Structure 1
Amino acid sequence: MLQKKVFFIFSLTFLINILNAQNVIINGYAPYFKSEYIAIKCYVDFITPIDSVLCTERIDSNGYFKLILNVKQSNLVYFSIGNVKSEFYVEPDSTYSIIIKNPDTDVTDDKINYNLRQVYVSTNLEDSLKSCLHNNIQKFNDFYNYFLSANYKNLRYRNYSLADTFRILIKEQFPESNNLYFNNYVKYRVAAMEQYIQVKSEKTLVKEYIKSQPLLYDNVEYMDFFSNLYTKYLIANKKEDTIISLINNNCTYKELAKIIDDTVIIPNERVKELVILKNLYECYYKRCFEQSVIINLLEYIKDSAQFEEHKLIAKNIIKKINTLKEETIAPDFEINDNTKELVKLSDLKGKFVFITFLKKSYIPCLEEIEIIKDAYKKYNNSIVFITIFADNDDKMLKKYLLNENFEWYNLIANNTTNKKILEDYNVKTFPTNIIIDDEGKIFKYNATHLSKGGEFLLKQAAYIQRSIKQK
């Protein structure tokens, strides 16, 4: 009965959120990215930060696109086109006309690096929308960066009077607006500067910006300030040995929370719970901590936290640290290859599998394919080879694969075909190599490219596979 009641309350809350959400329409022009797919994403939380796709559309052959999404409050989202990212601030019930600028010429001229790393580009709005949140934040960021650049040396040497000057200029240039998100964005950027030049003590910062304020999970500047303020809190202030001993001796969450007794720096239970969450996430990657105990503590918070937001964050942290980690089960997939043979990863258990995500249009991928040909000849008796092509032109890919007639499995996964596999394996760059062991577990994620000496991993995998056969 209790479960039904909780489910009903959750369902009602979810329904209210949907009803409160309002349409945002974005009419865009991205001439550099004609016929590419564009997605708009938001951060689920700013601790991990895991993102979520809000909608996806294809940019037409002239460079135009239209995106429609539902938002219930002002927030940061970003456009994603391949490895290109462009941030944007949206408000409910708004229509935007935007231009996504081309990547810098010097970036795109370097084809190898451009294809392998994420590139940030700016988003511009039409003049008719000068007073919108996005433009106001851009204007503020330009002012902030100019002030920082002009006064860097003095700020570095803790010139406290500059903080007063900055606050006065902010009030003149950016008076309180009707948008609470923008007001808090400015407020916590100012707080970050005060923290940086140490014009205020940690206690004063907490009193002014944390204790008497709501916890703004969705405001990027608030969460940046919060994260910087409480980073490494658990192992600071001479507590490190105590915390390490406590956690490694399989402590409970209540035992951990009990020793955090500084009510000046941790003013309430909501702040304490989030500080513990953030710090457990940090401690997980430190060698001195038992990871299994930290996972148990995160599981407890996921199930039993006092605040619903923290249950979600704990869940995201667990997902983040477990996803594609070595010795965890690799995400399964079931796809027909270019010869229409069904390829199901779980059916390949008992063998090592070498998966390469590629784009035919990328030079480094073409180089990798040439080396895969040689590697296949050496190791195909011990290792199953799979190449997965992510170019958006299915027709071109099918023709290419037919002409090349590769001897191993060749699959297609892009924004329209088998998209989930790219998400499951968090493929952001090409080529991406993954080795899966005979039990279907990750042996090596993002393995070194074969063209850069990564063949030693295949030798190791083949050796292990042969040893298994001989037993």
Structure 2
Amino acid sequence: MEVKHLNLYLQGSTCRWVSLLCVACLSFFLPESGSGQTVIRGSAPAYAGSTISIRGYHNYITYTTKVLASSPIGKDGTFELKLDEPHAEVLLLAMEYMELNFYAIEGKVYEVKIEEFDLPATHPQLIIVKGPEGDLNKLVPEFDDTLLSLTDDYYPYIVKNIKRNKVDSVFDSLGAISKKNAGSFMQVHVDYKIALVKQITNKKRISQFEKEYIIDRPVREDHITYVQFIRQYFSNYLSTLGSESHVNSLENLINTKKDVLGILDLLKADQRLANDTLRELVLLNGLYELYTAPGYREQMVLDLLDSLAAKSKIAAHVEMARNIRNSLSHLRKGTIAPDFELLDAHGVKRKLSDFEGQYVYLNFWAHTCPPCFKEIEVLIDLAEKYGNKVVFVNISLDKSETKRKQFLSGYDLHHR
């Protein structure tokens, strides 16, 4: 039996792990760039000749991204990125197939350094060499780590819902300290990270909790932590609502009538959703969840997103509805997979469409990926067993041809 096990290479690409390290020199203050321009400059010697970019999220439901700025990395490993347009604080610093979380405040200047080490000894690091006072790249991880530690310490009380006043007092004190002299992003981040914990301890005081964190608060669909909280708090909201007998018309409104305004009117009965903006945000997330939920037709969900994009008076929601729709339908089951062309191990050009009509298993790997070693071993066994029915295609993300060949030399792979 011939085992169909093809290895393809993405030239100039690599897969790496990155940890974020904020060093002591964060206390240095860099002057503002002026005119609201955000500047990120630094060095990445290991990526010389590649392109580095800053990406922003379209929204915090699909988490799809768009390029805000890009720059070549010079032969000396240096680069400079400039963001002239308004942007959210949460960004991604992307090189090749690696993405790093990065926080940037508009109009500030950041100096960074990216160091690469061979795995498994250590991971590449993004070092903030110089940043503005109150740099979120330091404040957010520090707070999150402290919150996680406290949550672990008080976990028995949290899950048993006992000593609520004591638990709330501890987390409120942490919040007060963390928000002191902090900017608006950090204040909202702290509040809603703590809210994710307190929603468990406040089950018997739910109306008070909802008033504090939902009803009496401004809607912040532009803030990642706020949206994470809303998505978790209203998780499966539409599907649960549709299963209740007194609102069984919801499924009909979605599957038959495609009546987005009727659905919004139905949700308005929930006093927590009296705010038009929040109500639409919950609906957008609910439709995103319902796309794969039993009992709901995919095309109807897509049509409702089109309808919401056409009828919403909230500009951010118009774009969000369009993006969610595109995200859901892009690789929809039954659609034609996007074609691509790469070189195989023998330097021959191969296209995905070459395997039209066959079952194809795509596996992406790199020599810097520890789990990939195990995956390759499993795929070899699968190829031996199902190679007459399935084409197994391994796509390398490695930039270095030498390291790629070294990786492959340790495995008995059969090539077509």
SS at match of 2:303: helix
Pick one of 34, 40, 62 that aligns with 1:25. Answer: 40
1:291-440 maps to which residues of 2 (within 5 A)? 291-333=298-340, 351-352=357-358, 354=360, 356=362, 358-359=364-365, 361=367, 363=373, 389-393=396-400
Unaligned runs of 5+ in 1: 1-18, 409-471
Deviation by residue 1:343-386 (Cα, 9 ceiling, x = unmatched) = 6767x69754747455574656876997899899x86xx99997
**Cα distance in 2, alignment partners of residues 240 and 20 from structure 1:** 53
Equivalent residue, structure 2, for 1:125: 128
**Cα distance in 1, alignment partners of residues 396 and 242 from structure 2:** 52
Asked if 2 retains the 8 angstrom alpha-carbon contact of 1:55 and 1:67, the reply is no
Q: Which amino acid aligns with 1:160?
A: N
Q: Which amino acid aligns with 2:172?
A: R
Pick one of 27, 45, 64 that aligns with 2:59. Answer: 45
CA 1:93–1:146 in 2, change beyond 3 Å: closer, same or farther?
same
CA 1:407–1:153 in 2, change beyond 3 Å: closer, same or farther?
closer
Pick one of 233, 241, 252 that aligns with 1:229. Answer: 233
Equivalent residue, structure 2, for 1:139: 142
**Cα distance in 2, alignment partners of residues 373 and 285 from structure 1:** 30
Deviation for aligned residue 1:211:
3.5
**Cα distance in 1, alignment partners of residues 205 and 45 from structure 2:** 46
Pick one of 160, 163, 170 that aligns with 1:165. Answer: 170
Counterpart check, 1:278 vs 2:293: no
Counterpart check, 1:155 vs 2:146: no
Asked if 1 retains the 8 angstrom alpha-carbon contact of 2:195 and 2:213, the reply is yes
**Cα distance in 2, alignment partners of residues 28 and 187 from structure 1:** 35
**Cα distance in 2, alignment partners of residues 288 and 383 from structure 1:** 32
Aligned-residue Cα RMSD (Å) equals 4.5
Q: Which amino acid aligns with 1:86?
A: L
TM-score normalised over the length of structure 2: 0.70
Counterpart check, 1:90 vs 2:126: no
Deviation for aligned residue 1:97:
3.3
CA 1:374–1:59 in 2, change beyond 3 Å: closer, same or farther?
farther
CA 1:343–1:198 in 2, change beyond 3 Å: closer, same or farther?
same
**Cα distance in 1, alignment partners of residues 61 and 178 from structure 2:** 31
Asked if 2 retains the 8 angstrom alpha-carbon contact of 1:163 and 1:193, the reply is no
Q: Which amino acid aligns with 1:24?
A: V
**Cα distance in 2, alignment partners of residues 193 and 373 from structure 1:** 46
**Cα distance in 1, alignment partners of residues 305 and 214 from structure 2:** 24
Q: Which structure would you say has the larger RCO, counting Cα contacts within 8 Å and 6 or more residues apart?
A: 2
Deviation for aligned residue 1:68:
0.9
Asked if 2 retains the 8 angstrom alpha-carbon contact of 1:176 and 1:183, the reply is no
Deviation for aligned residue 1:252:
1.3
TM-score normalised over the length of structure 1: 0.63
Counterpart check, 1:210 vs 2:214: yes
Q: Which amino acid aligns with 1:229?
A: Y
SS at match of 2:267: coil
Please identify, of 261-270 and 82-91, the stretch whose mean Cα deviation from structure 2 is larger: 82-91
Equivalent residue, structure 2, for 1:445: none
Deviation for aligned residue 1:283:
1.4
CA 1:334–1:260 in 2, change beyond 3 Å: closer, same or farther?
same
Asked if 2 retains the 8 angstrom alpha-carbon contact of 1:230 and 1:275, the reply is yes
**Cα distance in 2, alignment partners of residues 165 and 386 from structure 1:** 53
SS at match of 1:259: helix
1:73-84 maps to which residues of 2 (within 5 A)? 73-80=87-94
**Cα distance in 2, alignment partners of residues 245 and 127 from structure 1:** 57
Equivalent residue, structure 2, for 1:267: 274
**Cα distance in 1, alignment partners of residues 67 and 252 from structure 2:** 41
SS at match of 1:249: helix
CA 1:356–1:185 in 2, change beyond 3 Å: closer, same or farther?
closer
Unaligned runs of 5+ in 2: 1-33, 409-413
Counterpart check, 1:194 vs 2:188: no
Q: Percent identity?
A: 20
CA 1:302–1:392 in 2, change beyond 3 Å: closer, same or farther?
farther
Q: Which amino acid aligns with 2:81?
A: I
CA 1:164–1:254 in 2, change beyond 3 Å: closer, same or farther?
same
